[in-house]
Each structure stands twice: as C-alpha cells, then as structure tokens.
Amino acid sequence: MTGTLLPGIDARTVRTDRYTANVLERPADGDALQTVLFVHGNVSSSLFWQPLMLSLPAGIRALAVDLRGFGDSEVLPVDATRGVRDFSDDVAAVADELGLGAAHIVGWSLGGGVVMQLLLDRPDLVASLTLVSPVSPYGFGGTALDGSLLNADASGTGGGGANPDFVARLAAGDTGEESPTSPRAVYRSSYVAPGFESEYEDLWVESMLSTATGPDNYPGDAGASEHWPGFAPGTRGILNTLAPTHFDTSGIADAPAKPPILWLHGDVDAIVGDASFFDLNQLGAAGVIPGWPGEDVAPPQPMLAQTRAVLDRYAENGGRTREVVFENCGHSAHVEKPEEFRAELLAWIS
C-alpha cells in the first residue's frame, strides 16, 4: 500500500515474536515531546489515520499500526476465545519492539476494545486512552444494560451476523457503488453521517478492502443456537472476538491503573449506539429480520449506556474521564470532524 501513503507519512515493517506488523509514522520534528499510537477499527486499516497524523503538532511522534489481517500487516488466524487479546498482545509487541514505553493510545471502534484490553493487560504502555466510537466494554450484541448475557450462548452475535454479500465483495476487491452491500456503499451509509463527503474516499475504500476474509479473519465462524435468530458465536475470526461470551473489558473500572480516558463519538453513529442497525436484535425489533421474539427476550443492546456506566465507575474509582459527542457525526469522528477531534485530543494529552 505504499502508493496510498500521503506525503509526510512513512511506512515501516516491524517484526515481533507475534507477527510482522505494518506501522505508519509521522515523525516528530526533533526529539518527540509526546508519542501517540493509533489503532484502527474493523474493516479498515492505519490508512484512515493519515490526515489526522499529519495535522498534529511537529513535536508529536504519531504512529499507527495495522492489526493482523488488515492493511499491510501479516495475515494470521485470530483466536476469538481470547477476546481481542490476539490484537492487543500484537499491539503490545509492536510497542515493545519500538521501545515506546507509555504512549497516548487512541482506539477506534474495534480498536477501542483492543486498547481497553491493552490497559487491562499492559498498563505500563498507556499514558492515556482515547476511545473513538468504541465497542461497548461488554462486546457487541447479546447483553443487557449491566452486561449480563440475554441467553447463555449469546445468540445473534459473532461471525454469523455478517452480511455474506458484503464479505464476498470485500474478498473480490469491489470498489463500485451500485450495490448497497459494496464496501463503498457501506462506508457511506455506516462509517460516516449521511451526506458526508471526503476527498479521501477512494483511500478509505482501499483501506477497507485490505481486510483479510475467511473463518480465521473476517468475519469468522459461527455455531448453532436454539435461540433466535438461530446462530451463536464461533471461536475463530474477528467478529467473534467481540461476542460477549469472549469479550469483557468492563474490568477497567476496577483496575489499579487509571490513566485518563477520553470518549469521543458521533450523535448519528449507525454502528455503535443504543439502537445500532448492526445489532440483530435491533434489526428484529425493526422488522428487518423476521421472527423476533420480542423486547423481553431479545432487546437491542444499550451500547452507549453500557460504556457510560463503566466509565462512570472508572471515575468513581479515581480515574478521570471525559465524554464528547460530535453533532451530525457518524462512526468516524477523526474523519468527519478532524479539527474538533484534533482539538479534543491535544487538550486531553497535554
């Protein structure tokens, strides 16, 4: 992907004992005053961070890592039974190899879950956390407000929930816009607010198309369930890492280390919200998927309320937090609201 690098961004290969990572860098001018490490979301890559990295003050060293199976990093299987630890351990390995020490860590969507796990397992690497439209600390789908499972096997979550036509178009490298399940159409309908336009749209689509597909990567495998809608999380691949049977980072509220946490999200986020149209229970409630058993059995996941509750406990236990909601903004505040995003980030890490 070297042809897609913006002027001022360097790419390097970082070999660790876990995987071979592609890392982008906007070097500091002279000795770095601060280091910021960016972790991308699902079906994307480090390319999404480039304009923001270039806009940061010259004294900041800005780095962005490609997770395994994304961008130009090595494609390796993802063991979903570890939650997102395959990813967070990879990020830690890169940070160790580069000798970063405690850095300001920014995670978007899936990356938000990854960096929360990093805080739990390697707090020595985290000077502060910035969560950008992060997955709920209780995973994606299948839980009540307190994080408890709606049923024991968390039916309707994990790899079985992916749209197979979208997966096929990812694998085929589809750059068109005719189908609503093409990566470009999904970017326009779900990654950003309606009507948002960007000069970098082709770059974002290329970033999405770098996603490795299959049962070991995106979306993963699935199991059977006696509960609606008939499938349960599998044990392999990306979407299963976020299934609530495997993923739970709510322990950050009680963890001894309490670096400051900034939570940034848009007010019209179609992916992470209290009425997400990527939550199959929400689709059932809306009549999109037939046979929904009702609110008492399969309510939509209150994702924002869950994150807010965990961060409130984090603050009650001595941590410092801040929530910022950007108006007319979807799932990608760093792309849609770059000036406001940069201002909030710089104020926080300074």
Q: How confident is the model at residue 138 (pLDDT cuts 50, 70, 90)?
A: very high
Tokens representing residue 118 in the block: 């990093």
Its pTM stands at 0.97
As a whole-number percent, the residues of the chain with pLDDT over 70 amount to 99
Q: Note the pLDDT of residue 304.
A: 98
Name beta bridge partners: 326: 266
Band (3; pLDDT cuts 50, 70, 90): low
Sequence-distant (6+) residues with CB within 8 A of 16 are: 90, 93, 94, 96, 97
- The C-alpha atoms of residue 284 and residue 317 are separated, in whole angstroms, by 37
Q: Give the pLDDT of residue 39.
A: 99
Average pLDDT over every residue of 235-254: 98
Please give the biggest Cα pair distance in the chain.
61
pLDDT for 2 equals 47
pLDDT digits (tens, 9 = 90+) for 274-299: 999 999 999 999 999 999 999 999 99
Alpha helix positions (H), the chain: 50-55, 85-98, 110-121, 164-172, 183-186, 201-209, 238-241, 280-285, 303-316, 333-336, 338-349
Average pLDDT over residues 185-211: 97
H or E element, residue 105:
strand 103-108
With vertex at residue 331, the alpha carbon angle to CA 11 and CA 264, rounded to the nearest 5 degrees, is 85
Averaged over 319-330, what is the pLDDT?
A: 98
Rounded Cα distance between 223 and 160, Å, is: 8
Which positions ≥6 away from 28 have C-beta within 8 Å? 58, 59, 60, 61
pLDDT at 88 over 70: yes
- Among residues 241, 201, 175, 210, the alpha carbon closest in space to that of 22 is found at 210
Q: Where do we find the tokens 């801040």?
A: 322
> Residue 200 has what pLDDT?
97
pLDDT at 1 over 90: no
Cα gap 345→106, rounded to integer Å: 9
pLDDT for residue 32: 82
CA 194 to chain centre: 20
Q: Using CA atoms, how far apart are residues 100 and 36, in angstroms rounded to an integer? A: 10
